[in-house]
Amino acid sequence: MDHILVAKNVSKTYGNYTALSNISLEIPKNCIYGLLGPNGAGKTSFIRIINQITHQDAGEIFFNGEHLSPKHIAQIGYLPEERGLYKSMKVGEQALYLAQLKGLSKHDAKERLKYWFERLNIGDWWNKKIQELSKGMAQKIQFIVTVLHEPKLLIFDEPFSGFDPINANIIKDEILKLKEQGTSIIFSTHRMESVEELCEYIALIHKSEKILDGKLADIKNAYKNNIFDVGLQVEENSDALMKSLAEKFNILSSNLEKQEGHLDFKVQLPSSHTGDILRELSAVGNLYRFDETIPSANDIFIQTVNNKENGK
Amino acid sequence: MANKLGLIIKREYLAKVRNRSFIVMTILSPLLIVGMIVLIAYLAKINDNETRVISVLNESSFFQEEFKPTKSLSFVQLDDLTLDQAKDSTNALEYYGLLHIPKGETVEEVARATYLFTKGNPNSSVTQKLESIFQRQLRQDRLEKLGVSSDQFSNVEAPFEINLATFDGERSIKGINEIKAFIGGGFGYAIMMFIIIYGGFVMRSVIEEKTSRIIEVIISSVKPFQLMLGKIVGNSLAGLTQFTIWIISASVLLSLVVMVLGIDLSAMSGETNMPAGPMGGMSQLAPMDSDMMMYTKEILDIPWGILIISFFIYFVLGYLIYSSIYAAIGAAVDNETDTQQFIFPIILPLMLAIYVGFFSVFSNPHGPIAVGFSLFPLTSPIVMLMRLPGGIGEGGVPLWQFLLSIFLLIVTFLGIVSLAAKIYRVGILMYGKKPTYKELVKWLRY
């Protein structure tokens, strides 16, 4: 498969502090890649290396098949976690300046800015100063500046912090559109639930190490425990029925404050084979819910970290 | 890449030049300076015009010829009046005071009984003047008793000044070294002020980028070193703009003021030299016309071309060194209040240079201390400029010292800017910590 970014055994230390140890990642083209992990895990260190703000002590990075070098900076768009703009500079002037620093000509930058300002309905902000805008408004400008030079790779560090829900949705839609147009996108966040639905691939970073990476769907498949959420409508004595079911299956929890004639419980099966239990359940009552509980990225993260630490 | 540096310089320059307080300062300062000069000139003029009149009631046979009018003091002889009448008329005529010299047999006796009557406490320069008149008379009187005639006395009293010459045989004049050092000192002082003010601009600009959190956005497009360099150059250009505006507008304003008000500036400069007592005794005796000519000649002989060119060389190099340090400090801290502990060590060598300059270069422009400090890169921009009015080469700064100091400055600049860039690179991405010197050293190794 074609990759926009490949990192091989990348390490970085600051004095005695290890920020990244031996990280290897492959980020496919035209997908949304989630770089997940708690604060201080090393996500931002890795991103700064991609942006060539700092350099790795060891290891190699390839951008689009080539060794990462300063010429690639113009093909990367980066929205840092610590972001802001010059407070006393006018919006338009500032956006032009930042676009030109990314290598756009003044003319191109102006054209594209006009397009984006209209698209996000902020055309009349051109001559305002940043200090006159609200935080959410400034974030919109920040987003435009990040994507203006049409980079091949977009990196968002904690993208939705600071956005109100409405603006967050607008930005989310814009990002999805960019992905459709062929851009590769990296999301880095410690709030895993916020990007889970968007990411096709994820990598989990913990204490400077990568502990897991791959396609999100595959990971979830690998991490599911054959636990099912069951809702059953019964006519008989529910307590007795519960007991008999517990003898045959591994019932994890049951809702004892059940409604009249309802059984709610979780069950773990020895395999993903569901035929037996379905037959059994449909024989005793009316099955109205049978859901596989899929672990969230957060659950997977916690489980992997626990496994790893117990393993040591 | 050069293109990006140009963009940064332009932005930094415009951001500074458009800043409201910068504009206010640029406009206000020449007005203030000219206002000060006008005020001083005006005060000097008032001072000039005020001649104090003392009425003298002399009942003795002495002191008949002694009270000659001077610039600031004139005398009116009162005759055939009683003391009370004299007091009344002095008051009525609004004279400064009444000097009453009673009858007596000897000068000694008369002098002891003499009184000066004034409204309040008399001005000390007035009493000094009067005392010197009496003292001279008393000295002559006492010497006469020892058998010294009055002719002999005036011989004894004849003023003496030592003759001065250079080895080349030219007559040299007193105080010229001080004047030269003063001119050099002016240039050195201008450099120090410029470094402190515009270095501070660079530092605040770095801090602003940190607190507004735009820094990471920018250094994902350009190298931190480029940003730092652009900032230093942009701010110094803004500073030079301000300097140029100041010089032009101040001279225009000043000539306007001179034209409109007709203030005689040359009279003022003569006046301001007077209080400068230690200046080789120039003030005690007004220099003769030929001396005046020599001073003018000497001042015109100062190698102004070299001085101005070296001013720019030393200014640029000194500013580059110090403002890289300022940039590193700005990067290391989160807000301006945290900068104090780091700023003091920077200002220290600058202050030292000024003090060494004024104490050592003035007395001996080519002594070992002056030479040492004019080679040491952190002080050389200031100290060397104080030595340079003597010229380069024979009789002035040896050429090798001049070249060596510039060489050392360049080497130091390269060293300091690379260290500063390292601290800058790490510091701009550090938030919420007030670093110690130990940590800064650690950053150098990242």
Kindly determine whether residue A48 and residue B429, on different chains, have CB atoms separated by under 8 Å.
yes
Residues of A with CB below 8 A from B7's CB? 97, 100-101
Query: CB distance B217–A80 less than 8 Å?
Result: yes
For A157-202, the pLDDT digits (tens) are 988 887 788 888 888 899 999 999 999 999 998 888 777 788 899 9
Nearest to A157 by CA among A130, A201, A190, A180: A190
Judgement on whether residues A57 and A139 belong to the same structural domain of the protein: yes
Domain end (from A189, A221, A253): A221
Shared domain for A208 and A95, answered yes or no, is: yes
Task: Give a yes or no: residue A26 inside a domain.
Answer: yes
In a domain, A249, yes or no: yes
Q: Are A174 and A110 found together in one domain?
A: yes
Tokens of A101: 């620093």
**Residues belonging to chain A with any Cβ–Cβ distance to chain B shorter than 8 Å:** 14-15, 48, 51-53, 73, 76, 78, 80, 82-89, 97-98, 100-102, 142, 145
- Rounded to a whole number of angstroms, the distance between the first and last alpha carbons of chain B is 24
**How close A203 comes to chain B (CA, Å)?**
23
Which of A97, A142, A158 should be substituted to probe chain B, the one whose Cβ sees the most B Cβ atoms within 10 Å? A97
Strongest mean pLDDT among A14-28, A241-255, B383-397, B422-436? A14-28
Contact A98 B431 (CB under 8 A): no
Angle at B416 between CA B414 and CA B422, to 5 degrees: 105
Does residue A270 share a domain with residue A122? no
pLDDT at B279: 40
pLDDT given at position B177 = 66
B429–A89: do the CB atoms touch at under 8 Å? Answer: no
Structural domain spans, chain B: 2-44+174-444, 51-157
Same domain assignment for residues A181 and A68: yes
> Cα separation of B431 and B152, whole Å?
85
What average pLDDT does range A100-126 have in this prediction?
90
Give the integer Cα–Cα distance in Å for A231 and A228.
Answer: 10
Of the residues A196, A221, A246, the one at which a domain ends: A221
**Are A29 and A80 members of one domain?**
yes
> A152 and A249 share a domain?
no
Domain end, chosen from A221, A237, A253, is at A221
Q: Tokens standing for B361?
A: 């270069």
Pair A28, A66 in one domain: yes
- Does a structural domain hold residue A308? no
- Whether residue A46 has pLDDT greater than 80: yes
Q: Minimum mean pLDDT among A169-173, B2-6, B169-173: which range?
A: B169-173
Q: What is the pLDDT of residue B190?
A: 84
Q: Which amino acid is at A217?
A: A
- Indicate the average pLDDT of chain B: 80
Would you state the pLDDT for residue A145? 92
CA distance B212 to chain A (A): 5
The CATH code of the domain that includes A193 is 3.40.50.300
CB atoms A83 and B11 under 8 Å:
no
Question: What residue in A sits closest to B212 (Cα-Cα)?
Answer: A84
CATH number for the domain whose boundaries are B51-157: 3.40.190.10
A161 shares a domain with A62: yes
Q: Cβ B4–A82 below 8 Å, yes or no?
A: no
For residue A271, the distance in angstroms to the closest alpha carbon of chain B comes to: 49
Residue in B221, B428, B438, B441 to test binding to A, most A beta-carbons within 10 Å: B221
Per-residue confidence (pLDDT) for residue B286, from 0 to 100: 43
Evaluate whether residue A305 is within a structural domain. no
- Cα of A59 to nearest chain B Cα, Å: 17
Looking at the complex, report in whole angstroms how far the Cα of residue B193 sits from the nearest Cα belonging to chain A: 27
Distance CA B429, CA B214 (A): 11
CA nearest A82 in B: which residue?
Answer: B213
Determine the residue among B14, B205, B214, B222 to mutate to test chain A binding: the one whose Cβ has the most chain A Cβ atoms within 10 Å.
B214
Residue A151 has pLDDT above 70, yes or no: yes
Task: Quote the CA–CA distance of B7 and B15 in Å, as a whole number.
Answer: 12
Tokens 């860039």, residue located: B421
pLDDT above 80 (res A92):
yes
Taking contacts as CB-CB distances below 8 angstroms, the residues of chain A near B19 are 88
B275 pLDDT tier (thresholds 50, 70, 90): very low
Share of chain A above pLDDT 70, in %: 96
The CA distance from A36 to A210, in Å, is 10
Q: Which residues of B touch A19 (CB under 8 A)?
A: none
CA B216 to chain A, closest CA, distance in angstroms equals: 7
* Domains of chain A: total: 2
Q: What is the 3-state secondary structure (H, E, C) of chain A?
A: CCEEEEEEEEEEEECCEEEEEEEEEEEECCCEEEEECCCCCCHHHHHHHHCCCCCCCEEEEEECCEECCHHHHHHEEEECCCCCCCCCCEHHHHHHHHHHHCCCCHHHHHHHHHHHHHHCCCHHHCCCEHHHCCHHHHHHHHHHHHHCCCCCEEEEECCCCCCCHHHHHHHHHHHHHHHHCCCEEEEEECCHHHCCCCCCEEEEEECCEEEEEEEHHHHHHHHCCCEEEEEEECCCCHHHHHHHHHHHCEEEEECCCCCCCEEEEEEECCCCCCHHHHHHHHHHCEEEEEEECCCCHHHHHHHHHHHHHHHC
Domain membership flag for residue A276: yes
pLDDT at B170: 55
Query: What mean pLDDT do residues B173-195 have?
Result: 77
Task: Give dist(CA B414, CA A81) in Å, integer.
Answer: 34
Residue A211: its pLDDT value, please? 87
- The rounded Cα A116 to chain-centroid distance in angstroms is 25
Pick the more confident residue, B48 or B395. B395
Paired strand residues for B131: none
Angstroms from B330 CA to nearest CA on chain A = 16
Whether the complex's predicted ipTM is more than 0.95 is answered with no
Q: Is the same domain home to A175 and A259?
A: no
Residue-range definition of the domain harbouring residue A55: 3-221
To the nearest whole number, what is the mean pLDDT of chain A? Answer: 86
Question: What residues of B are in the A interface, CB distance below 8 Å?
Answer: 4, 7-8, 11, 15, 19, 208-209, 212-214, 216-222, 224, 429, 431, 442, 445-446
Domain annotation covers residue A67: yes
Q: Is A306 part of a structural domain of the chain?
A: no
Q: Mark whether A112 and A251 lie in a shared domain.
A: no
Report whether pLDDT(B272) > 70.
no
Confidence class for position B172, pLDDT limits 50, 70, 90 = low
A259 and A114 within one domain: no
Tens-digit pLDDT profile for residues B212-260: 889 988 988 888 899 999 999 998 888 888 888 887 887 888 788 777 7
CB distance A73–B219 less than 8 Å?
Answer: no
